[in-house]
Amino acid sequence: MATKEHTEAAEMGAAGDSAPFEVRYNPAEIEARWQERWAAQPEMYAAEPVSSTKPKYYVLEMLPYPSGQLHMGHVRNYSIGDALARYMWMQGHNVLHPMGWDAFGLPAENAALKNNTPPRQWTLGNIAAMKRQMNRIGLSYDWRNEVTTCLPDYYRWNQWFFLRMYERGLAYRKKSKVNWCPQCATVLANEQVVNGCCWRHEEQPVEQRDLEQWFLRITNYAEELLEDLSRLEGWPEKVRTMQRNWIGRSEGAQIEFELEDASGTTEDEEKVRKSGTVLLPARDGVKGTGKKAAVFTTRVDTIFGATSLQMAPEHPLVKEMAAADAGLSDAVAALLEQQRKAREAGDVGAIEKHGVFTGHYAINPFNGERLPVWVGNYILLEYGTGAIMSVPAHDDRDYDFAKKYGLEIRVVILPRSQAESLGEREALLPYTAEDSLLINSGEFNSLGCHEAQHKMTAYAGEHGFGKATVTYRLKDWGISRQRYWGTPIPMLYCAKCGIVPVPDSELPVLLPENVEITQQGGSPLARMPEFVNAKCPKCGENALRETDTMDTFVDSSWYFYRYTDAHNDRAPFATETVAYWFPIDQYIGGVEHAILHLIYSRFWTKVMRDLGLVRNDEPVERLFTQGMVIRNGAKMSKSKGNVVSPDEMIARFGADATRMYSLFAAPPDRDLDWQEDGVAGVSRFLSRVYRFAMKHAERAKSGARPSSAELSPDSQALLRKLHQTIRKITEDFAGRWHFNTCIAAIMELVNALTAADAAIGAGKVPDAVLGEILRSLTLLLAPFAPYLAFELWEQIGETENLLRAPWPKFDEQLAKEEQIEIPVQINGKLRAVVRVGADADEETVRAAALADEKIAALIADKEVVRMIVVPRKLINIVVK
Ligand SMILES: [Zn+2]
Ligand SMILES: [Zn+2]
């Protein structure tokens, strides 16, 4: 948010504008001139080779999708990264600051359909347009290392990595339920399903389909991905928490329940069997069928309270039971249909729970009791084991279900305070806390929950019906997309040999260019015989190519490694070069990438490490997530009609004012409410800086200033302000990144300068002091308003490239607050004078007086009765 002070500071900048000056700030002219000069020397932004003796600094902003137009969110993101890159250059680092294009993806196909432009042409045209915009903004990218993910020199390495993963069993194929958007005619990731609808088509409900898909085994790395989060201290805690939750580790036990052989049912049992609502007690002679259902539970301590087994409609055992029971078969089909609808609505968690008793019982391996087996529409086959033990007394969901169907509820844990009471107090239920004791649990009675969990898991292991298990919410990464504009998956299908990988020597599998995009009937590649038909590399017979392409998150999982060695045609990159640059020192992007992109790229790094390609375990040392740019209280979007075009802002106010405003209007991690008045204010501020500097530029071209003791109070005050400003900005770059207050501090400095303009004009400030101030001011502006800074740098007579000019150092002494002299009396007689800061508190003033040598000697053998301190005026020490 733009704070009130900021708006005022910007407005104060306008206050001195009335006096007309011969020079006028013309950003269009200045910026065009410098843009041309920078374009003529691309080596200015080039990273030095790894042999450089400077410390390295890799600053990276997330690469954009080439939609054709930068939006203000981009401008903000890149302005933050650019300020940092420029600052690090000036601090003497070897800076890598690259940019590229996340160039595969569906919009290119949509555009092709709409405008009849081939996706490649559309994409490359957009890239050119956005690159022009970036250059117009004056962003300091090293374009020699540009990466464009839709070009074969990049995506061939996606294919190469895929083959390496396939060799190691990290890429595999399986039939899987997928989210299908009929409009996109493609599979959507779960995260692309928003409220049951397609993320691109907000009104389009997502359907479920079964397809053979390629998966990457990210779950192999689940534990390490979780563990290493604790090492990422330079990441926002919210991002780490989101990843932790996404990985979703839970510890528990897997327990097997065997189905009962009902042939031995007694007459007494026969009466209750049919209801399926009560447990059948243990007795001798009960036999099992040998068919077992595993359940995963984090609360094995409650297993004596299990009163039913609940299974997914698609569980293999349910299918078997239904095959022999037409009534059950219909009921299960109805449950499955409810589940399908809930999936399509995107919220299975909120499904209205229904279930049906199967007529079968399963044996609780802990006590031999028999539990009715039910099918529940809320149980998903693909989560856990597809079956659960239902413990109504100690689980919210199970409790609701039991109440609804009249299932038995048995209390097996109680709060410690109530452990003596066996009364099953309805009001307490369901009781889910774990600071409790077990009851009704046989030999495990009176154990605490945690102890019971350990002992009971061990017991299950010893008796061969269970084991300790860790499960994750994280699923393997389905990368198959039935789309054209993506990396072809380099696999072949041979009638004789089965699935055959494309040999490395035949990479890249090129994406054909002239393709008809219809977005109907699956992938366009499948309709191109020249693509599909190939020879099997094993047997030489005809084979068919895989027509799925890769999820575009594959492209962004490792692109930042390619920047270090973008033209390598023998490997994705040189290991030594990556070893020099990695990990990325600072990564900057939107928090919306907290989960997918940032987990996938961590996974990819770990796989590359295990392949021996990189030595780092993690790709990113420090992560910064900037806030959104909003306007009129909402995120800028076409549908809300509140979009501000960067081009328009730049045309009106210049690139410097636009980018500086995007840093000034809010702390970078907060949302920024775009106000055109604010941009205008920053533009007026830059105009004041320009006119002030131009007016005094000639006088600034002089040598070193005299020591501060010889300076007038005016000069001292200005230098103090200058060094305080340098200190503030230097400290902010190191940590807080409150660029908004940095810019406000520069504004204050300029206010002080313009206020002193008369004194400066009257010659009360020596040229050398003026020179130091103007040079430093220009250096301070360089990360935020580079065009103006380069212009002023030259105007004040500097010839060194500003980007390599050393960042100004602050002088602690000068930055100190103004000093005042205070007379010190002893019993009313003046004895000494002490110097303290003008803002020093009473404590400091007393201490200064007592520490004075003369005073200390005079009161050495006396008793101090009291001290009277008149602020800023006088100290009187009363002694006897
Ligand atoms: Zn869609
Ligand atoms: Zn073959």
pLDDT of residue 778: 97
Sheet of 542-545, strand order: 498-501, 491-494, 542-545, 533-535
Q: How far is the CA of 360 from the centre of ligand 1 (A)?
A: 43
Q: How far is the CA of 524 from the centre of ligand 1 (A)?
A: 17
Task: Identify which ligand lies nearest to the alpha carbon of 499.
Answer: 2
Check: CB of residue 259 under 8 Å from CB of residue 315: no
pLDDT tens-digit series, residues 547-601: 999 999 999 999 999 999 999 999 999 999 999 999 999 999 998 899 899 999 9
Quick one: tokens of 186? 């493609």
Phi, psi (5° rounding) for residue 834? -115, 150
Task: Identify which ligand lies nearest to the alpha carbon of 202.
Answer: 1
Q: How far is the CA of 215 from the centre of ligand 1 (A)?
A: 21
Give me the mean pLDDT over the 750-779 stretch: 92
Find the largest Cα–Cα distance for the chain: 115
pLDDT of residue 19: 47
Amino acid at 61: E
Task: Identify which ligand lies nearest to the alpha carbon of 519.
Answer: 1
Q: How far is the CA of 536 from the centre of ligand 2 (A)?
A: 5
Name the band, by pLDDT with cuts 50, 70 and 90, for residue 422.
very low
Q: How far is the CA of 655 from the centre of ligand 1 (A)?
A: 36
Average pLDDT, the chain: 91
Q: How far is the CA of 432 from the centre of ligand 2 (A)?
A: 57
Task: Identify which ligand lies nearest to the alpha carbon of 483.
Answer: 1
Q: How far is the CA of 512 from the centre of ligand 2 (A)?
A: 23
Helical H segments across 91-118, by residue range? 106-115
Q: How far is the CA of 478 from the centre of ligand 2 (A)?
A: 26
Quick one: tokens of 735? 């940590």
pLDDT of residue 6: 45
Name the band, by pLDDT with cuts 50, 70 and 90, for residue 270.
confident
Q: Measuring CA to CA, which residue among 291, 285, 442 is closest to residue 358?
A: 291
Q: How far is the CA of 484 from the centre of ligand 1 (A)?
A: 15
Q: How far is the CA of 80 from the centre of ligand 1 (A)?
A: 33
Euclidean distance between CA atoms 223 and 215, whole angstroms:
18
Give percent of the chain above pLDDT 90.
70
pLDDT of residue 709: 63
Give me the mean pLDDT over the 4-33 stretch: 63
Name the band, by pLDDT with cuts 50, 70 and 90, for residue 848.
confident
Q: How far is the CA of 499 from the centre of ligand 2 (A)?
A: 8
Q: How far is the CA of 239 from the centre of ligand 1 (A)?
A: 27
User: Greater confidence, 6 or 773?
Assistant: 773
Q: How far is the CA of 185 from the centre of ligand 1 (A)?
A: 7
Give me the mean pLDDT over the 43-55 stretch: 96
Q: Measuring CA to CA, which residue among 471, 399, 393, 481 is closest to residue 433?
A: 393
Residues 6+ apart with CB under 8 A from 796: 693, 697, 700, 701, 771, 774, 775, 778
Mean pLDDT comparison of 173-187, 190-204, 764-778, highest-scoring range: 764-778
Q: Is 249 left (phi over 0), alpha (psi -120 to 50) or beta?
A: beta
Q: How far is the CA of 123 from the centre of ligand 1 (A)?
A: 20
Q: How far is the CA of 540 from the centre of ligand 2 (A)?
A: 6
DSSP, collapsed to helix, strand or coil, labels residue 830 as strand
Q: How far is the CA of 801 from the centre of ligand 1 (A)?
A: 50
Amino acid at 503: P
Phi, psi (5° rounding) for residue 139? -75, 140
Quick one: tokens of 357? 């008793």
pLDDT of residue 703: 65
Q: How far is the CA of 544 from the centre of ligand 2 (A)?
A: 10
pLDDT of residue 11: 42
Quick one: tokens of 366? 């802990």
Q: How far is the CA of 607 from the centre of ligand 2 (A)?
A: 29
Task: Identify which ligand lies nearest to the alpha carbon of 193.
Answer: 1
Task: Identify which ligand lies nearest to the alpha carbon of 183.
Answer: 1
Q: Is the dihedral of CA 442, 446, 452, 458 positive or negative?
A: negative
Q: How far is the CA of 491 from the centre of ligand 2 (A)?
A: 12
Name the band, by pLDDT with cuts 50, 70 and 90, for residue 7.
very low
Mean pLDDT comparison of 148-152, 176-180, 807-811, highest-scoring range: 148-152
pLDDT tens-digit series, residues 333-351: 999 999 988 877 767 788 9
Q: How far is the CA of 550 from the centre of ligand 2 (A)?
A: 24
pLDDT of residue 181: 87
Task: Identify which ligand lies nearest to the alpha carbon of 180.
Answer: 1
pLDDT of residue 696: 92
Task: Identify which ligand lies nearest to the alpha carbon of 537.
Answer: 2
Question: Residues with Cβ within 5 Å of ion ligand 2?
Answer: 494, 496-497, 536, 538-539
Q: How far is the CA of 173 from the centre of ligand 2 (A)?
A: 18
Which residues lie across from 253 on neighbouring strands? 297, 468
Task: Identify which ligand lies nearest to the alpha carbon of 181.
Answer: 1
Name the band, by pLDDT with cuts 50, 70 and 90, for residue 521.
low
Task: Identify which ligand lies nearest to the alpha carbon of 538.
Answer: 2
pLDDT of residue 569: 96
pLDDT tens-digit series, residues 791-842: 999 999 999 999 999 999 998 888 877 777 899 999 989 999 888 877 778 8
Question: CB pairs under 8 A, 24+ apart, for 501-508?
Answer: 501/163, 501/166, 501/167, 502/159, 502/163, 502/537, 503/537, 504/160, 504/163, 506/537, 507/156, 507/159, 507/160, 507/163, 508/152, 508/155, 508/156, 508/159
Phi, psi (5° rounding) for residue 620? -130, 120
Q: How far is the CA of 492 from the centre of ligand 2 (A)?
A: 9
Quick one: tokens of 869? 């301190």
Q: How far is the CA of 824 from the centre of ligand 2 (A)?
A: 101
Give me the mean pLDDT over the 523-534 stretch: 92
Give percent of the chain above pLDDT 70.
94
Cα 662 to chain centroid distance, Å, stands at 20
Task: Identify which ligand lies nearest to the alpha carbon of 184.
Answer: 1
pLDDT tens-digit series, residues 240-261: 999 999 999 999 999 999 999 9
Give me the mean pLDDT over the 703-710 stretch: 65
Q: How far is the CA of 176 from the centre of ligand 2 (A)?
A: 26
Q: How far is the CA of 110 from the centre of ligand 1 (A)?
A: 10
pLDDT of 850 higher than 70: yes
Phi, psi (5° rounding) for residue 172? -150, 165
Q: How far is the CA of 532 from the centre of ligand 2 (A)?
A: 15
Q: How far is the CA of 250 from the centre of ligand 1 (A)?
A: 33
Give me the mean pLDDT over the 861-867 stretch: 89
Task: Identify which ligand lies nearest to the alpha carbon of 536.
Answer: 2
pLDDT of residue 202: 85
Question: CB pairs under 8 A, 24+ apart, for 707-713?
Answer: 708/813, 708/814, 711/766, 711/769, 712/764, 712/765
pLDDT of residue 400: 94
Q: How far is the CA of 715 from the centre of ligand 1 (A)?
A: 65
Q: How far is the CA of 470 from the centre of ligand 2 (A)?
A: 40
Euclidean distance between CA atoms 61 and 46, whole angstroms:
16
Q: How far is the CA of 369 from the centre of ligand 1 (A)?
A: 50
pLDDT of residue 16: 44
pLDDT tens-digit series, residues 294-325: 999 999 999 999 999 999 999 999 999 999 99
pLDDT of residue 3: 41
Task: Identify which ligand lies nearest to the alpha carbon of 494.
Answer: 2
Range of lowest pLDDT (22-31, 142-151, 429-438, 464-473) = 429-438
Task: Identify which ligand lies nearest to the alpha carbon of 207.
Answer: 1
Q: Measuring CA to CA, which residue among 623, 628, 621 is closest to residue 668?
A: 628
Q: Is the dihedral of CA 18, 22, 28, 32 positive or negative?
A: negative
Task: Identify which ligand lies nearest to the alpha carbon of 185.
Answer: 1
pLDDT of residue 529: 94
pLDDT of residue 425: 62
Q: Does the model's pTM come out above 0.85?
A: no
Q: How far is the CA of 501 from the centre of ligand 2 (A)?
A: 11
pLDDT of 191 higher than 70: no
pLDDT of residue 13: 42
If you search the block for the tokens 């990843």, which residue do you land on?
A: 243
Q: How far is the CA of 218 from the centre of ligand 2 (A)?
A: 29
Q: How far is the CA of 321 from the centre of ligand 1 (A)?
A: 38
Q: How far is the CA of 480 from the centre of ligand 1 (A)?
A: 16
Which residues lie across from 179 on neighbouring strands? 188, 208
Task: Identify which ligand lies nearest to the alpha carbon of 496.
Answer: 2
Question: CB pairs under 8 A, 24+ apart, for 433-440?
Answer: 434/301, 437/413, 438/301, 438/304, 438/412, 438/413, 439/411, 439/412, 439/413, 439/414, 440/304, 440/305, 440/410, 440/411, 440/412
Euclidean distance between CA atoms 672 and 655, whole angstroms:
18
pLDDT tens-digit series, residues 482-496: 889 999 999 999 999
Name the band, by pLDDT with cuts 50, 70 and 90, for residue 704.
low
Burial 296-326 (b: 16+ CB within 10 A, else e): bbebbbbbbbbbbbbbbbbbebbeebbeeee
pLDDT of 8 higher than 50: no
Name the band, by pLDDT with cuts 50, 70 and 90, for residue 459.
very high
Q: How far is the CA of 542 from the centre of ligand 2 (A)?
A: 7
Euclidean distance between CA atoms 115 and 143, whole angstroms:
30
Name the band, by pLDDT with cuts 50, 70 and 90, for residue 705.
low
pLDDT of 421 higher than 60: no
Q: How far is the CA of 128 from the centre of ligand 1 (A)?
A: 27
Residues 6+ apart with CB under 8 A from 738: 667, 668, 732
Q: How far is the CA of 502 from the centre of ligand 2 (A)?
A: 11
Q: Look at strands 413-415 and 197-198 and give their pairing.
A: unpaired
Task: Identify which ligand lies nearest to the alpha carbon of 543.
Answer: 2
pLDDT of 4 higher than 90: no
Query: What's the alpha-carbon Rg for the chain, to the nearest Å?
Result: 36
Range of lowest pLDDT (423-427, 441-445, 853-857) = 423-427
Q: How far is the CA of 181 from the centre of ligand 1 (A)?
A: 5
Quick one: tokens of 304? 């004596």
Task: Identify which ligand lies nearest to the alpha carbon of 544.
Answer: 2
